[in-house]
Structure 1
Amino acid sequence: MRKARQVEVPLTEEQLKGMIRRFDTDGDGKISRKELKVGLRSLGLRFSGFRAIRALHHADANGDGVINDDEMNELAKYVSNKWGRMR
């Protein structure tokens, strides 16, 4: 019996954005630093607080401290480039 190989496939930006949108636990349409931290931790990423701060700093174009829908593309690109393949 052959053992199945597990192949990691990078997520598309649309898949990443869908995943990140689920981090919006209060339903306001924005991702706060706390929501991003909890979401990244749920994905198994270590140092999620630090990573959330860095990602927010990178993607928060208007400086309001949250990621809105307009900034979601930049956040998805950052996550994809920084942390590569995510399951």
Structure 2
Amino acid sequence: MRKSWSMPENHLKGIFRAFDTNGDGKLSKKELKVGLKSLGLHFTSIRAWRAIRHVDANGDGLIGEDELDELTKYVSKWGITVTP
């Protein structure tokens, strides 16, 4: 059975920002992977790689503040419903 959550967009963005352990304002694949694992999600390496590939608009291999909107949309594939 697939986990399903619902959370406000601003709360989800806050969670993603908390994954930024080195404080550079961007999420690396490793930071995203560790953060997703802390939420209890499975296949975190694959999810992190796909998420970065999908939302990384500038091609730097990281998810910046300006790319968080797209990341919050992308997580619907993981069973997370984002509410306004």
Smaller-chain TM-score range?
0.7 to 0.9
Q: Decide which structure has the larger Cα Rg and report it.
A: 1
Structure 1's consecutive aligned runs of 4 or more residues displaced over 6 angstroms after TM superposition are: none
1:17, distance to aligned residue in structure 2 (A): 0.6
Which residue type is aligned with residue 75 of structure 1? L
Unaligned runs of 5+ in 2: none
Distance 1:85 1:59 in 2: 16
> Alignment identity in percent?
60
SS state at 1:10 partner:
strand
Unaligned 5+ runs, structure 1: 1-7
**C-alpha RMSD of matched pairs (Å):** 1.5
Q: State the match for 1:27 in structure 2.
A: 23
Conserved 8 A contact 1:32-1:67:
yes
Q: Check the 8 A contact 1:56/1:66 in 2, yes or no.
A: yes
Counterpart of 1:58, as a letter, is H
Number of residue pairs matched by the alignment: 78
Q: TM-score, normalised by structure 2?
A: 0.86
Q: Secondary structure at the match of 2:6?
A: coil
Give the distance between the partners of 1:11 and 1:69, measured in 2 at CA: 19
Amino acid at match of 2:8: T
Task: Find 1:38's aligned residue among 34, 39, 44.
Answer: 34
Q: Which has the higher strand share?
A: 2
Q: Structure 1-normalised TM-score?
A: 0.83
**Letter paired with 2:11:** Q
